[in-house]
Amino acid sequence: MSRTIIVSNRLPTKAQRTEEGLHFTPSEGGLATGLGSIYRADGNVWVGWPGVEIEDPEEQRYVTEELRNDSMAPVFLTQDEIRDFYEGFSNETLWPTFHYFSQYAVYEQSYWESYVGVNEKFCQAVLELAGPEDTIWVHDYQLLLLPQMLRAARPDCSIGFFLHIPFPSHELVRVLPWSKQLLEGMLGADLIGFHTYGYMRHFLSAVAQSLGYPSQNGIIEAGQRSVLVDAFPMGIDYDKYAQVAESQEAKDSEQLYREATGDARVILSIDRLDYTKGIAERLRAYEQMLQLYPEWRERVTLLMLVVPSRDQVEKYKELKVEVDELVGRINSQYRTISWTPIQYFYRSFPLEHLSGLYRLAEVALVTPMRDGMNLVAKEFVASKGELPGVLILSERAGAARELSDAIIINPTDTRQLAEAMHEALVMPEDEQRLRMSNMQALVSQYNVYQWVKLFMDRLAYIKIKQQTLATEMLGPDELQQMRTDFEKAPRRLLFLDYDGTLAPFTKNPQHARPDDELRHLLRALSAEPRNRVVIISGRDRNTLFSWLGDLPLDFITEHGVWLRASGEDQDWAMLQPMTNTWKQEIRPIMELLVSRTAGSFIEEKEYSLVWHYRRADVELGAVRARELTSHLNFLASNTDLQVLEGNKVVEIKNAGVNKGAAAARWLATYPADFILAIGDDRTDEDTFQAMPEDAYTVKVGETGRSFARFHIKGPQDVRRTLRTLL
């Protein structure tokens, strides 16, 4: 049976050292609480760090044994690794960068080296556990390199990756000296998930700009694999939170806090101590609210839970001091004998207590500067049941993309946040209930089980899609077979695309003139009377003929417009009757696009017009290409024209003309016993599809997705392959 191996830096259980020895408690943080509900099913295993330094082999054995009973497998980190990998690269380099706090980021080569080392350590641990049929699901920013490492060891394995924190604009990511390696690391996965569409869009853009991999509909062509990218907003175990909130323990703890806060209305705030959470800003806004609306003094209490986190990291230590001071100052300034404005707790709470607090609070303040998702917001909603309550939510938390019934605020706008608190406190109960039940419907439908299912379904989908368009590498064995078939065949037909196949791409298409090596190869191949060598290209006939017309070659040019068999007495013929008067109308549209898109240019052929954007900004080029395609498709409807998108080109020409139609004509006219077709572009797919099943069809390029049977890497390999037929 195939299982799922979950991998994350932190296990959902952490070991803690006390005077009586090691004991185990649940970990804090969204990932642990979110996935904790599901991993125990079906023999699944969770691989991760138990949260404390354990170097003694005896203790390691004990912890391994204890965790095994609960479907977990520990990866032990040394003291140096905790410092350089966890506190260092993960939390002083990646965390600030990905949360738009680049000014806090540390760039330290030794951190990076440790990061690589620990990702390798995780890779070994997973490989020891995972069988070839198992699905591996890697989580979060501490393990960005792991998917690629696993892929290298298990090329066919199903690997998913989910990022729980924001993926920022490429402008921030590119600042990291290791950004390319990190992106490549993630692309080892088959499916990459983010909480929001915005994060996903930033990632696609980073991959296009940094690595040059194009994408369409969220599918990236990354080397030999297609990688699917999608948004999966994480949910919570709704029923669990709703049920706990109804339990006697939760109600008791609600009562306990009610007695402590007296008649005052309660505003609740819960987060890990983190500068991304906007805790200091929130305190200032609360203070401003007390100034703006003095009527709330003695009538409202801010109950603030701050969970200790990453307390060895400098910025976190500084924040602790800042928060302590702020709370002290506000409390000492406003408190009365019977009232404390802020009840501040610096520790972590058991679930039943959190639940009691969620019940008690009239208002929840979730106001991070940046937050991947924020599960506290959803837990508050799920715990409210029939009770009224208002959620104030930062527009920069992932959760704001879903919870539109919250009061959405900008956390840097202190005044707006202060006003929002007042608005929440005076909101009519009817409105509170309406908004709350809308949010409950959403949070209960898109719960964590649904999240896991959607992710797994999409992973299965991309695996199937990869297989249907997968091609085999034209390796030594296949090449040998091809040679044997070739030698046996009395009549051989070779369809060879030109650009990207016989000759490498050049910035200016006119510079791709054949070199001596290529001319020599084509001369030798076509000199053999049993061979017919057809150059099948999108280029105009004049250029191609001026380059290669002296050789005994057949030509199919302009993507099938003009055909010419070899021999001096032969003439050019058209595949079908065509017009080109339409060019007058289309040319100005392309010219306008050139004037708007630096680096792009028009290529004019007799019966077609082509817009090239290979030299333009990658992303702008792709956007403009889509714009042009849809505009041209609109104009071409009800006419005899067709629009083709190729590799960094958009071409418009007469309908019914393509390389496939032309190649089919050639097959009918010159029957053969051995057929080879090689090409690199989308337009060559038409050729491949026109070929009989036993033909050798070969796709050239990094991506293996094609209708061809085989693939090879680049023009050098094409030439090498053709030489073996001499």
Ligand X SMILES: O=c1ccn([C@@H]2O[C@H](COP(=O)(O)OP(=O)(O)O)[C@@H](O)[C@H]2O)c(=O)[nH]1
User: Which phi-psi region, left, alpha or beta, contains residue 103 (left: φ > 0; alpha: ψ -120 to 50)?
Assistant: alpha
Q: Is 34 in the site for ligand L263DTV3 (CB under 6 A)?
A: yes
Q: Which does 234 bind (CB under 5 to 8 A by kind): ligand X, Mg ion, ligand L263DTV3, none?
A: ligand L263DTV3
Sheet of strand 191-194, all strands in order from the earlier edge strand to the far edge: 72-74, 45-49, 4-10, 135-139, 158-162, 191-194, 225-231, 219-222, 215-216
- 680 binds, options Mg ion, ligand X, ligand L263DTV3, none, Cβ within 5 to 8 A by partner type: Mg ion
Which one of ligand X, Mg ion, ligand L263DTV3, none interacts with residue 376, CB within 5 to 8 A by kind?
Answer: ligand X
Phi and psi at residue 337, to the nearest 5°: -55, -35
Interface residue with ligand X among 207, 373, 418, 525 (CB under 6 A) is 373
Say which entry of ligand L263DTV3, Mg ion, ligand X, none residue 230 contacts (CB below 5 to 8 A, set by partner kind).
none
Could you say which of ligand L263DTV3, ligand X, Mg ion, none residue 10 binds, taking C-beta under 5 to 8 angstroms by partner kind? ligand L263DTV3
Residues 88-147 that bind ligand X (CB under 6 A): none
**The pair of three-digit structure tokens given for residue 214, joined into one six-digit string:** 């194009």
The answer to whether 142 and 167 have CB atoms below 8 angstroms apart is: no
Binders of ligand X in range 330-359 (CB under 6 A): 348-349, 354
Q: Residue count at the site for ligand X (CB under 6 A)?
A: 16
Do the bridges between strand 225-231 and strand 300-307 make them parallel or antiparallel, or are there none, so unpaired?
unpaired
Residue 497, interface with Mg ion (CB under 5 A)? yes
Read off φ and ψ for residue 651, nearest 5 degrees. -120, 140
Stretch that binds Mg ion, among 61-69, 166-174, 294-302, 495-503 (CB under 5 A): 495-503
**Alpha-carbon torsion angle 489, 495, 496, 497, nearest 10:** -160
Find out whether 684 and 705 touch, Cβ atoms under 8 Å.
no
Q: Which does 681 bind (CB under 5 to 8 A by kind): ligand L263DTV3, ligand X, Mg ion, none?
A: Mg ion
Q: 234 to 293, contacts with ligand X by CB under 6 A?
A: 270, 272
Tell which residue, 558, 256, 288, has the closest CA to residue 409: 288
Pairing of strands 363-366, 390-394: parallel
Q: How far apart are CA 254 and CA 262, in angstroms?
A: 12
Q: Is 31 in the site for ligand L263DTV3 (CB under 6 A)?
A: yes
Which residue type is seen at 399?
Answer: A
Residue selected from 11, 165, 189, 657 as contacting ligand L263DTV3 according to rule CB under 6 A: 165
Window 362-421: residues binding ligand L263DTV3 (CB under 6 A): 371-375
Rounded to a whole number of angstroms, the minimum distance from the CB of residue 257 to ligand L263DTV3 is 24
Which of these segments, 9-17, 89-97, 374-382, 691-699, binds ligand X (CB under 6 A)?
374-382
Q: What is the rounded CA–CA span in Å between residue 254 and residue 352?
A: 9
Q: Which stretch binds ligand X (CB under 6 A): 26-34, 70-78, 82-90, 525-533?
A: 26-34
User: C-alpha distances in angstroms, 339 versus 67, 297, 527?
Assistant: 46, 9, 100
Give me the phi and psi of 613, to 5 degrees please: -130, 25
Q: Which of residues 454-483 bind ligand X (CB under 6 A)?
A: none
Catalytic hit among 84, 371, 405, 497? 497
Q: Is position 164 an interface residue for ligand L263DTV3 (rule: CB under 6 A)?
A: yes
**Binding positions for Mg ion, 661-680, rule CB under 5 A:** 680
Task: Report the alpha-carbon distance of residue 525 to residue 583 in Å, rounded.
Answer: 38
Question: Candidates 22-30, 168-176, 242-250, 554-562 — which segment interacts with ligand X by CB under 6 A?
Answer: 22-30
Please report, as a single letter, which amino acid is at residue 683.
Answer: T
Q: Which of 8, 33, 196, 557 touches ligand X by CB under 6 A?
A: 33
234 binds ligand L263DTV3 (CB under 6 A): yes
Specify the stretch interacting with Mg ion by CB under 5 A; choose among 210-218, 420-428, 498-506, 584-592. 498-506
Closest-CA residue to 658 (of 647, 644, 671, 672): 644
190 binds Mg ion (CB under 5 A): no
Q: Which pairing describes strands 472-473 and 710-712: parallel, antiparallel, or unpaired?
A: parallel
Contact 684, 471 (CB under 8 A): no
Q: Shortest Cβ distance from residue 676 to ligand L263DTV3 (Å)?
A: 51
- CB-wise, 9 or 367, nearer to ligand L263DTV3? 9
Give the shortest CB-278-to-ligand X separation in angstroms: 12
The pair of three-digit structure tokens given for residue 334, joined into one six-digit string: 């406003």
Looking up tokens 């007799």, which residue turns up?
Answer: 606
The CA dihedral of 588, 592, 593, 599, to the nearest 10 degrees, is 110
> Running DSSP on this structure, what letter comes out for residue 570?
-
> In this chain, which of 307, 456, 469, 661 binds ligand X, going by CB under 6 A?
307
The Cα 61–Cα 71 span in angstroms is 15
Give catalytic status of residue 516 as yes or no: no
Distances from the Cα of 7 to the Cαs of 36, 95, 123, 201, in angstroms?
Answer: 12, 19, 10, 25
**Minimum CB distance to ligand X smaller for 30 or for 51:** 30
Nearest CB to Mg ion, comparing residues 230 and 680 = 680
- Residue 309 touches ligand L263DTV3, criterion: CB under 6 A: yes
Q: How many residues bind Mg ion (CB under 5 A)?
A: 5
- Report how far apart, in Å, the C-alpha atoms of 311 and of each of 51, 94, 170, 308 are: 13, 17, 29, 7
Distance in Å, CB of 25 to ligand L263DTV3, minimum: 13
Nearer to ligand X, 270 or 418 (CB): 270
- Please report how close the Cβ of residue 398 comes to Mg ion at its closest, in angstroms: 42
Does the footprint of Mg ion cover residue 651 (CB under 5 A)? no
CB of 553 to Mg ion, least distance (A): 16
Span interacting with ligand L263DTV3, options 26-34, 64-72, 251-259, 437-445, rule CB under 6 A: 26-34
Which residue has the closest beta carbon to Mg ion? 500
Q: Which residues have a Cβ under 8 Å from the Cβ of 587 and sit 6 or more positions away?
A: 602, 604, 609
Task: In angstroms, give the least distance from the CB of 85 to Mg ion.
Answer: 45
Report CA-CA distances (Å) from 74 to 10, 35, 50, 129: 9, 17, 6, 11
Enumerate the active-site residues.
Answer: 497
Site residues (vs ligand L263DTV3, CB under 6 A): 9-10, 29-31, 34, 140, 164-165, 234, 309-310, 371-375
Q: Rule CB under 5 A: which residues touch Mg ion?
A: 497, 499-500, 680-681
Per CB under 6 A, residues contacting ligand X are: 28-30, 33, 270, 272, 305, 307, 348-349, 354, 373-376, 379
